[in-house]
Amino acid sequence: MPDLLINDINVSNLIRERFQKKGAGWVGMINLPSGKNVDISAEAIKILVNELDYSGIYISFNRTCGDLQTMFKSSGIKMDKIYFIDTITKNTILEPPPRENCSYIESTKALTDITIEVTKLKAKIKSEKKFLIFDSAPLLLVYNSLIRSERFLHSLIQNIRSQGFIGIIFFFEADAHSELYTTVAEFSDEVIDITSKKIGIEDIIKYKLLDLEQKKFSEKKFEEAFQ
């Protein structure tokens, strides 16, 4: 299949180059253009699984496990290497039918359950090359407070690093000036922007969403602030 091109950017090459160079514990934020979440997440999965021989976990706040499996299969992705954490289905179906490699979380507010499930699924992954993708970080705020969302993502990033994953957290173009975006950008190793308007850490400072002193705010201090 041809490479994915968005806004004159070869997204496939961009993702391929980043993943080939990064090792276990790396966390990247990807800022997505509107309406391209599925295309880019499928491309990222395809490169990780089919080309680079990774196995991993996909946390979804955006689509059901069934929808994702159908879409990814149609893209030729090797599905036996992906474990899904589905936070959507049980909002509408109390007892969903079991699906292979799919874990259903009780609700989009059950953040502790997600963390527990990540640990369980990590034990099933035999490959040393592991990924964890969170498909829609801004949607946390639809169901949870800002503080709770920040705590969860901070904990998730710590787990990614301590358990040897490559981590990818997706944000949307419309959320690039949000407080949650600013916090997660600070904790990530890299912000990859593939929107038509480039928003990086320097832009965040420019727009006065984060001053130079706040940029130096460490994960340790963040953790202490909530003890």
pTM metric for this prediction: 0.82
**What integer pLDDT is reported at residue 199 of this predicted model?**
43
Q: What percent of the chain has pLDDT over 70?
A: 85
List, as one string, the DSSP characters of the chain. -PPPEETTEEHHHHHHHHHHH--TT-EEEEEEPTT-HHHHHHHHHHIIIIIT--EEEEEESSS-HHHHHHHHHHTT--GGGEEEEESSGGGT-SSPPP-TTEEE-S-TT-HHHHHHHHHHHHHH---S-EEEEES-GGGHHHHS-HHHHHHHHHHHHHHHHHTTEEEEEEEEGGGTTSHHHHHHHHHSSEEEE-SSS---HHHHHHTTSS-HHHHT--HHHHHHHT-
Q: Report, as an integer, the average pLDDT of 5-23.
A: 81
pLDDT exceeds cutoff 70 at 117? yes
Which residue has tokens 């592991």?
130
Band of residue 81 on the pLDDT scale cut at 50, 70, 90? very high
- Structural domains of the chain sorted by starting position, each given as residue range(s) with its CATH number in brackets: 5-225 (3.40.50.300)
Q: Report, as an integer, the average pLDDT of 163-172.
A: 92
Band of residue 196 on the pLDDT scale cut at 50, 70, 90? low
Torsion of CA 136, 217, 115, 70, to 10 degrees: 20
Q: Report, as an integer, the average pLDDT of 191-214.
A: 53
